[in-house]
Structure formats: structure tokens, C-alpha cells
Structure 1
């Protein structure tokens, strides 16, 4: 496969054409740095300076696409220019080739060219002065420094500034990308948290409504239907209040997305009372001291969801809630009667178990749920000290 070089930049073409026309104009006007009578002029044909001028100008389109090749050809042209009457434009174009080789070349070229031109500047000044025993020999080094080392050093400085600006731009892009990722993760986490809140809070009331409405429709006893309708009304009002509270949280712009009145373990009594009103036989055994607020909320929600699941799925019998604090952990266990094959009294999506597991995992705890003989057990543990897994 043939190697194709990128097309030269249009500005490089302009430099080449402008330099060539300027050099030809100076040649027509007879402006030359040397005359045929000088001892260094070995090729004294009047048109001789145009050859290195044309070669150097032809190297300009390579200053970005192939800077090292352009510099090597330009160096050969400059050496040829020194044995003719010369052209100032050839020297100026060569300095641009040196500058471009450092600025656009490889990192290795950018390091070596300033070092090589600096050494040539020193040697070109010290060696002639020592051989000729004439301080004017130092002017040769000055000339090399102006033509080669100065543009190389300038290119090195500009390249360093360009690389630093590019690195800063990349860092800014990375920071912006990380910020966007953090924002997306925060939004996802908040949506997940609100989904858990909606499920744990509203599902409890809606499950009770579904079960008691079924009872009210299927039973012909007016008193039983009246009692079921009363339970339905209570759960409807409570569910509506909770929904309004959650909507208020979503509309809150002060950054505080936590509920104004976060449920606590002290409210388990009221939760048990509501479960009993819905027809569950519930006992509560709570032995704990003050626990961190996140753990308290998670434990409350797990108990609440467990009671909801018991209302929908448990067989007839006693539901037991146990909370025990020991060895820096809070142990939450809810057991309910279980009989395989029983149909659920209200539909479920399985999101409740997922939400309970998420709550425990987020706080570094553990969670397990499943049948054990004739009992369905929900068991969660929470560390009470930050950073210590349960």
C-alpha cells in the first residue's frame, strides 16, 4: 500500500509562494549579501542564488506534513547558497524550516534539534576564533545561532506552551466528563431512592386497599363490608398523604431531599397497629438503643415492606418482628407463616425484595429473605459504626 502524506496547509503554500516571489524580486533588484569578488563565492553565475532559493521555497509546504525531511533538504540548499552570491530570503525561509521542525516534528526531533543547533553555535564560534586567533571568528557562531539555534529555541518554547495548553484542555474535558458522570449517577441514585420510597410507602396502603376491597365485594355481610370499607378509607387517606409528601420532596428546591418527618423505629408501634387493623396477627420485640438515622430509616422501611408482603402472601398465623442491637450491629428479623402454593391476595412485582436488599447494601449491611420450613424469614443486619461491614 502506497504511503500518502497529508495535504500541505494552505498557509504553507502561501509562505512558499511569497518567499519565492520575494527572493526573485531581490535578485532582479540585484540585492545580494555577497559579490563574486568574495573568496567564498565558488559559483558566481548570476542565476545561481535562484537554485537554493527555489529548493528552500519548495520545502515550505513540508513544514507541517514532513518537517524533518523539509529541514534536511533545506539544510542542503542553505549550504549550496553559501557558495553563491546568496539570497537573504533563502536564509529567512530556512529559519522557518528549523522552527517548524521543532514545533511540528516528533518529540525526539523537538528535543534534539535545539541541542544540535546549540552545539553548532558554540563550536562555530569558538573553533574559528581559536584557529584564526581572531575574535571576529566568533561572528560565525553568532550567525549560526541567529539562523539555526534561535528559531529552534523559539519553536521549543512555543511547542511547550502548546502542549501545556492541550494538556489543560484535556484535563478540563476529563473533569467535565467526570462531573457529567457524577451528575448522571446522582440522578440515577436519587431516582432509585425515590422508587424505593414510593414502593415501600404507597404499596403498603394500596395492598391493604386491594385485599379489603376484594373482601368487601365477595362477602354479603353488611357489617363486614362496612368494616372493610373503613379500612380502605383509612389506607386511602394515609396513602394520599404519603403521596403528597413525596411530591413535595420532589418539588423541593432547597437541596434537602429527605422527608420532613423521616420515619423512626419509635414509629414501629403505629406500623404494627396499622398491620393489625388490616387483619394481621403481629407481635413486636424491639430491643435497641439510639441508632444512626440512615440505619433507622432503612430498618423501618424493611419492617414496613415485610408487613406488606405478609399481608399479600403470608398464610394464616402470627407475624413476628424482632429488632436486636448487639456487637455494633442492628439485627432486624421478620418471620411470617409460609405455605408453598398459596395464591397471593394482591399482585406483586418483586421490587420489594430488591428495594430491601438495596437499602441494606447501601449501608454496608447484609440481607437475606426466603422460606425456612413453614416460615418466611426476612433478615437484615446493619453496622452501627461507619466503615465497619456487618
Structure 2
């Protein structure tokens, strides 16, 4: 259980007052025969009241507490009152302005010298030494202790701030390095891959124009292949520009927005055109309500379906490729099935990293992924959570 500063001050005041009343009631205090016994309680009550203000008004509590302490010594010293005065000195240095320690060190030292000197003048050396010892414990020890604690506290705060600044500078350096690397990647994509895709689209368009001028029939397989090449190169170029914009931390144009599942019909149409000669058909079935999916989940689902269709065009045996998207309450289930074709597949170039990429997309979102042949069917299964895990992209 943690107490607030106000509660702590109230507890100190109550404990001091209770101890003062108890000591006075049993007569355990330095009595003064010139004043009644109850007068010794007045400084105790006043000192306990000052304890309530030890943090908020340290200068006033120390100043008034010194006067109350002097009056208490005359009326009859109560140990509880003395202890509370030393606590006021301690709090004055700990919570007061920085100059408070110097002021109290000087006043405490001067008071000790004056009182021990007067005792030496009117009494003897042993009594002067006793007075000097008591004055040191009352006026100097709490001030010195609080000054030491405050120095350690300030040093700890300074080190903490320095550590935070160091961490902030390190984070800024890291972000700067990431931004520089992203800019370099964006330049490479723009200068190399994007230019190649532009050249492919331009040459495909030129070849289509040349074939039309030669009055080639519209159903010519060459023209159909050129149309597929041009369409895919244009879409690839748009995707590349979108990624370049994201790497440069620019606001992407509406035309380059992240692909959505609603655009899967375009991907399926491209797969049908590419797989027609290989005897492939494509079906996409959606089960349940799609609802609102987070952007990372929808992008991952789109890419997994896209890569599954691309792999089917490359490797599947003739038949129907079936894709099922099941929208559940807490997850999205993706299943792609195609006739299994043993061997290396069709002679189409590829990086061979499609399955790895799909698995990584699912795992980064906290989902599951599996792919492989079973009963003459190549099956791809992915399960994505609707809500990504905390800290995941």
C-alpha cells in the first residue's frame, strides 16, 4: 500500500503529537517549575501542525519551527517536539530551494558555537561539550543528512535525464539510418525495376500496334499474350510506384493505394488469361461476412491469394483452381486447391520464394500457414487473425 505525500505528513504529525502527549502525561520531559505542565504541550501541538506543511512551505515551517523550538525549551523540552523540529530542518533542505542547505548549515553552526560558548563561559568544559554535541545532533546532523540525500537524488535525476537523452539520440540515429536506407531502396526500385517495367509496357504496346497495322486477327494468341504482358507490366509498375512512395514516406496517390480484397476479380481475370492455354480454370468463393479488416490483414490476404494463383499458373496440372475465403468472427481462412503436378512445372521464371513469402506474411500477423500436396491436390492453407497482435505490423 502506497501513501501519498499528504498522508505521510499527516501520519508524521499525528505520531509526533501522540508521542508528545504521552511523554507529557507521564512527566517524561524537562520540567520548568515556573510554568504549568500543560504549557509544555503548546509547542508540541504547534510543531505537529507545522509538520503538515513541511513539503509545501519548507521556509516558513523552518522559520516558525525555530521560534516554537525556543519557546518549547523554555516551557519544558519534550523529546517529541525536538524530534519534530529536526524533521522540519530535514524537510526544509530536502524540499526547499537549493540555498536552504547553506543557510541552515550557517545558522546551525552559529547556534552550536554560541550555545556551547555561553555554556563554557558560565559553566565548565564538560557541560560545554555536552551542549555542543546536542546542538550538533539537533541543528547540524539533519541538515547535513538531507543535503547528502538531495545531492544523491539530483545526481540520479541528472543521470536519468542523460540516459533518456542518449536513448533519444540513438533512436533518432536509428530512424535516420532507416530513412536513408528506405530512400536508397526507393532509388534502386525506381531506377532499375520501374524502368524495366516501363520498357516492357512500351514494347508490348508497340508490338500490339504493329500487329494491328499488319491486320492480325484479334483472337491471335500472340496479340492475347501481348495484351496480358502489357496489362501485367502496367499493374506491376503501379504497384512499384506505390511501394516507392511508401519507402519515401510520401502520401500515396489514390491510384497507388494498397490493394484490397474487393479487387481480387482483377487478379483472377489475369490468372484466367495466363492459364487458359494450360487448361486451367479458376473459382473464388467467399463465405461469411467480410466486414472491416485491418489494412495489414487485408493486404496479407490479398497477397496470399495472388501468390497462390500465380503458383497455380506456374505449376498446377490442368483443371480447376479453387480459392475459398472464409470470414469468421476472429479470423480469416484462406484455402487454395489445384491439381498437383509432379516435377518442375512449366518453364516460367520465378524467384522460388513464393511459399516463403506467404508463410512470413501469416507469421508476422500471428497467423498460421501450411502448403503441400495431399491426395493429388496441392493445397495452400492460411489463417489470419482479424485483429493483429500488439506490436505487430
TM-score, structure 2 length as denominator?
0.48
